[in-house]
Amino acid sequence: MRWLIVALSLLALPAHADWRDEIIYFAMIDRFSDGNPDNNQTVDLENPLAFHGGDLVGLAQRIDYLAELGVTALWITPVVRQVETPIEAEGLPFHGHHGYWAESFTELDPRYGTEDDLRNLVDTAHRHGIRVILDVVYNHIGYGAEWTETRPEWLRQGSECGGDEITLCLAGLPDLKTEREDVRDHLFNAHIGLARRTGIDGFRLDTFKHIAPDFWSEHREMTQRYLGDEFFLIGELWDGNKYLARPIFEADQVDGLFDFSFRDRTLKFLTNVEKADRYARYFRARHDIADGYVMAPFLSNHDMPMLLAMLRGDTEKLKIAFTLLMFAEGPPVIAWGEELGRRGGPWPENREDMPWDQTAGNALLEDIKQLISIRHRFDDMRKGPIEILHAEEGLLLMQRGQLILAVNRTDATTKLPPMPAGTWEAIFGTLTPDLPPLSATIMRKVGD
């Protein structure tokens, strides 16, 4: 039997039954806000692959901003101590600023802060009605970590690396033998213990498909036993969609997966690769999964170019994408600075610092605040069957309950198709006989 020496955090949110109601904000700790310059080490703001100084104190200082935005869950990158020696990439020293190259799973990286700093972040977030999801890594350790010498039996490296998804050494990283009970004991105690001591509300599970299903089944049992049934587990399954999700949800290994298909299909729709009718059919059926589980849609993350870069800086198209994101079922995920128009290109440009100097007078930010507010106000924004009213070329109308979303993807003003009976008012965008080019409008039925 495994024993965890833990202490519960004093602050905890009441149980929340439906994660479809949440708005998740993703912040890479090192890139978000530097609240304590005293813990800066190997900081080089000119090197996009170095540490830039962001920390847990800085995140806690910015919780007011997230609450005002309408965020209800904060996903942060791993906090464990990282390997010290960088590797070379793009002719530059590449440090573990991202948090995925662990040296130790039982210590926090001092660049991010202390366990007290993490507990304070969680408590501050809870006071604002925001849950905290911690990114955890079970698959690998960092390049040249101490275990490569002191615990080689725990690792696959060199000739031991296999050719399948479970035994490969991802990007050449030493692969943890998670089939071993002693490895599982160590990892479960480290991550679950930290979550209990600090009041963390959920885990984002990195590299989900590179670990065997029986590990995730045991992990589910352990988190429920020590962290409770409400503890949220969401997996990163690259190219994840409802089809790949079904066996995972049937086995009850997690509560949700990131919906990679949403970004891909929305990008195709906004760049005229996919017509409105095809996209509408996808949108209507994308969340056809077992009750109680979620596919979390997103537009951008830290492993791909920001959507705005793919849209060549067209913020009107990005606003349409955000409108679709907020109308989609499942908790939408916003990457740091995306609401401000952060335009990170291919890696490593996609991991830029949070552009705090762009908050004042930012029209995109105000539109996204309004969209999030509407999503919170109306259940029909978040769940329920969708009816396709019109889908032709770049014009799309979808109805859910008492709400209609109208999108004109084209560069021309387009006449509004016939509407269902009743009186309709615009709660986002403009409602006229014509739909402006590159626009999205949300309408609500009023009266009888």
H or E segment to which residue 298 belongs: none
Q: Tokens 């919906």: give the residue.
A: 259
pLDDT at 448 over 70: no
pLDDT at 10 over 60: no
The model's pLDDT over 317-346, given as tens digits with 9 standing for 90+, comes to 999 999 999 999 999 999 999 999 999 999
Same domain for 235 and 296, yes or no, is: yes
Structural domain includes residue 205: yes
Same domain, 299 and 422: no
CATH of the domain at 406: 2.60.40.1180
Q: By percentage, how much of the chain surpasses pLDDT 90? A: 94
**pLDDT recorded at residue 6:** 42
- The number of domains in the chain is 2
The answer to whether residue 10 sits within a structural domain is no
* DSSP secondary structure string for all residues of 235-255: E--TT--HHHHHHHHHTT--S
**Do 184 and 142 fall within a single domain?**
yes
Q: pLDDT tens digits, residue range 282-310?
A: 999 999 999 999 999 999 999 999 999 99
Q: Which two structure tokens, joined as six digits, stand for 161?
A: 């690396």
Instruction: Give the model confidence (pLDDT) of 90-125 as tens digits.
Output: 999 999 999 999 999 999 999 999 999 999 999 999
308 and 380 fall within a common domain = yes
What is the domain extent for residue 420?
A: 390-446
**Is residue 395 domain-shared with residue 379, that is, in the same domain?**
no
pTM of the model: 0.96
The dihedral sign for the CA sequence 93, 99, 100, 105: positive
Q: What percent of the chain has pLDDT over 70?
A: 96
403 and 267 assigned to the same domain: no
Q: What is the mean pLDDT of the chain?
A: 95
Does residue 322 share a domain with residue 414? no
pLDDT at position 433 is: 85
- Classify residue 14: in a domain, yes or no: no
Q: What is the pLDDT of residues 208-246, one digit of tens each?
A: 999 999 999 999 999 999 999 999 999 999 999 999 999
Q: What is the pLDDT of residue 393?
A: 85
User: Who contacts 208 (Cβ-Cβ below 8 Å, separation ≥6)?
Assistant: 216, 235, 236, 237, 254, 257
- pLDDT tier at 278, thresholds 50, 70, 90: very high
The residue with greater pLDDT, 400 or 4, is 400
Which ranges of 97-212 does DSSP label H, i.e. alpha helix?
A: 115-127, 147-150, 181-198
The predicted pLDDT at position 447 comes to 79
pLDDT in tens, 159-173: 999 999 999 999 999
